[in-house]
Amino acid sequence: MNRREFLITSSAAAGLLALPRFASAAAGTIDLYSGSDANIVDLWNNIIRPAFQKAHPEVALKVTDAGDNNGLRAIADRALAALKTKTDPQADLFEQFDPRLPAGGIDAGLWVKLSAENIEGYDHINPLAFDTSYSLPYRGSQVLLAYDTTKLDPKDAPKSWDQLTAWIKAHPGQFIYNRPDKGGSGSNFVRRAIHEVNGRDPKKFKVDNFTADYGAAALMPAWKILNDLAPSLYDKGAYTSGNTQSIQLLAQGVVTMVPVWSDQVLQAISQGVLPETTGLVQLGDLALCGGFSSITVFSNGANKDAALKLAAFMLTKDMQEAIITQIGGFPAISWDHISDDLRKKYADVIPSTIPTFPSGDWEKAINDGWYRNVAPGISRT
């Protein structure tokens, strides 16, 4: 073996040895995964990370975009497996996840139980926001209807589901929502239809009460309503492929009304993507779903203590106000703990109730059911 060959083989061997080191997380770096839209990932990278590292210079924070909720579920499954084999899950916390998944995770002790004892500021949290003691609400948002006030007078904006469907039918081609698996604004519009045919009672749907029979009985009537609406939608039943695309169609003046996330639409208006003449309305009989996004912390993460510090840091007044001012979200702590100026400015959008819909098996049933029963109703000429 000559010198050159020796160098090639030895450097390749050294490279192979170094591989696992690159793959595992560096010590003192919190691994956070987000399944949210780009505006939230930007908030974490541009606002929260610098502020947190200034307050806690001893730890670093790495934010990874996991794509969507399914991306997070895969990592959670991996972490549950890692818990059983007592290895490092290479993840410390999730931005926005339902700790009831993966099934059995809570019983196995996958998530840290959060309370005033391990989270500073826990008692400031808005009582509306609490879901389970394994998730820490840190921001809220809700799906609203955004409309063009130059085409629809705010006086005539629909205030109930019946008025909304009547308006959609009276103005064919002026409404569109996105595919339910591609973004919350469309999926919560679909969920509002499901609530409508089930007595407008969000309590009927729980993450663990899905059965095939109950699912069919609860969802079939909703598919009928949505099928009935389809010919009146934009292009006789076209559906955009995401939250952003719906906003884009509204911005181009193609449609008059779309369901939107409150935080995304406020941001779009403030950035000039949507004109100042954009109106916002919420249904009064039962609001479109929304909810508080919550942080979940892995009990077996390598940097659990640092992750808990970060979770508590999110409840500080500065970060909560950043959520209002930067992304137009709702704070998770009670409005009493927000400065007076902001409280007055946002008095109109402070919600008194936010209905929610569970994920898990319901999400699968709704997504597939929608594709099979509603989407093929397209009449293509």
Partner 1 sequence: MSADTALAAPRRHQSIDRRSFIGLLLVALPVFLVGWLIVFPIFSAVVGTIFVRGPDGATEFSLASYRFFFSDGYSLGNLWLTLWTTAVCGILLLAIGLPIALYLRFSQGRLAAYVQALAIFPMFVPSIILAYALIRTIGPNGTIDLLLNAAGLPKLRTPYLTPWGPVIGLVWDNLPLTVLMLTAGLSSVSNSAIEAARDVGAGPLRVFVSIILPRMGNSLLVTASFAVLGIFSAFTLPYVLGPASPEMMGPFMQRTFADMNDPLNAMTQAVITFALCLVFGIFYIRSIARNREARP
Residue 201 interacting with partner 1 (CB under 8 A): no
Q: Indicate whether 148 belongs to the interface with partner 1 (CB under 8 A).
A: no
Say whether residue 253 binds partner 1 (CB under 8 A): yes
CB 257 within 8 A of CB 148: yes
Which one, of 69, 375, 39, lies nearest residue 240 by Cα? 375
By CB under 8 A, residue 277 contacts partner 1: no
Binding segment for partner 1 (CB under 8 A), chosen from 53-61, 88-96, 306-314, 362-370, is 362-370
Residue 9 lies near partner 1 (rule: CB under 8 A): no
Number of other CB atoms surrounding residue 371 within 10 Å: 14
- Helix and strand numbers, DSSP H then E, in the chain: 14, 8
Rg (C-alpha) for the chain, rounded Å, is 23
Stretch that binds partner 1, among 34-42, 116-124, 125-133, 244-252 (CB under 8 A): 244-252
Binding mask of the shown chain, residues 71 to 110, with x at each position contacting partner 1 by CB under 8 A: x---------------------------------------
Secondary structure class of 232 (helix, strand, coil): helix
Binding to partner 1, residues 289-348 (CB under 8 A): none
Distance between CA atoms of 238 and 304, rounded to whole angstroms?
A: 45
Tell me phi and psi for residue 225, to 5 degrees. -60, -45
Q: Which amino acid is at 89?
A: P
Q: How many CA atoms lie within 13 A of 291 on its CB side?
A: 21
Distance CA 313, CA 308 (A): 8
Identified binder of partner 1 from the candidate list 60, 207, 273, 375, rule CB under 8 A: 375
One residue of 2, 85, 252, 353 binding partner 1 per CB under 8 A: 252
Size of site (CB under 8 A) for partner 1: 26
Task: Select from 40-48, 50-58, 232-240, 279-287 the region that touches partner 1 (CB under 8 A).
Answer: 232-240
238 binds partner 1 per the rule CB under 8 A: yes
Interaction between residue 50 and partner 1 (CB under 8 A): no
239 binds partner 1 (CB under 8 A): yes
Q: Is 231 in the site for partner 1 (CB under 8 A)?
A: no
Which range touches partner 1 (CB under 8 A), out of 152-160, 192-200, 233-241, 341-349? 233-241
Q: Does position 179 bind partner 1 by CB under 8 A?
A: yes
Query: For residues 19 and 7, what is the distance between their CA atoms, to the nearest angstrom?
Result: 18
- Nearest residue (CB) to partner 1, 154 versus 253: 253
State the Cα–Cα distance between residues 180 and 191, nearest whole angstrom. Answer: 9
* Nearest residue to 289 via CA among 374, 375, 158, 183: 183
The C-alpha atoms of residue 195 and residue 202 are separated, in whole angstroms, by 6
CB of 222 to partner 1, least distance (A): 17
Alpha-carbon distance 136 to 44, whole Å? 16
Q: How far is the CB of 102 from partner 1 (least distance, A)?
A: 11
User: What is d(CA 236, CA 172) in angstroms, rounded to the nearest whole number?
Assistant: 8
Kind of pairing, strands 278-281 and 290-297? unpaired
Report the residue from 132, 198, 248, 270 that binds partner 1 according to the rule CB under 8 A: 248
Residues that bind partner 1 (CB under 8 A): 68, 70-71, 179, 181, 234-235, 238-241, 245, 248-249, 252-254, 364, 367-368, 371-372, 375-376, 378, 380
